[in-house]
Amino acid sequence: MRTATKLELGIAAVLLPVAALAAPLKQAEPLANFPGKTVIEDPRPISRRFADLDAYLAYLRRQAAIDRAWYREIRPGVYELQAGGNLRLDGGGKTQRVFTRDELERKFGFKP
């Protein structure tokens, strides 16, 4: 039985992580009314893609697993923006991080 050479082990050490990165982390969810399209590709406004604000906030919470921003309810009807690791909230502390439910509903188009 032959043992692997250092070169072969080195090549395997480089190629295995690359192959793992090339695989998708999660399949995008198909849209019921738009065959062949995913939530990411959907051109409709957020308020048309999700039944209500709670459904959208749940979607954002699931996206936190891939380092995306989401909103955490810190008390009833009040939410705090939880920045993903790659999101920088610059602006000298002027960037709003706490929102009421009403503000989020207006921001994402669930209320006029």
Q: pLDDT tens, 59-105?
A: 999 988 888 889 999 999 999 999 876 656 565 556 679 999 999 99
- Is the pLDDT reported for residue 44 higher than 90? no
Distance between CA atoms of residues 17 and 71, nearest Å: 32
How many other CB atoms sit within 10 Å of the CB of residue 55? Answer: 11
pLDDT given for residue 48 in this prediction = 87
What are the two backbone dihedrals, phi and then psi, of residue 30, each rounded to the nearest 5 degrees? -70, 150
Q: What is the mean pLDDT of the chain?
A: 74
Q: Which residues sit opposite 72 in a β-bridge? A: 80
Higher pLDDT, 13 or 49: 49
CA distances from 94 to 45, 89, 90 (A): 27, 9, 8
Q: Which pLDDT value is given to residue 81?
A: 93
Cα 54 → chain centroid: 15
Q: What is the mean pLDDT of residues 23-33?
A: 51
Please tell me the distance from the alpha carbon of residue 101 to that of residue 9, in angstroms, as a whole number.
55
- Measured between alpha carbons, how far is 56 from 66 in angstroms, rounded to an integer? 16
Q: Cβ(33)–Cβ(27) under 8 Å?
A: no
Q: Does the pTM exceed 0.85?
A: no
pLDDT bracket for residue 5 (50, 70, 90): confident
* pLDDT at residue 43, as a whole number: 74
Rounded to a whole number of angstroms, the distance between the first and last alpha carbons of the chain is: 72
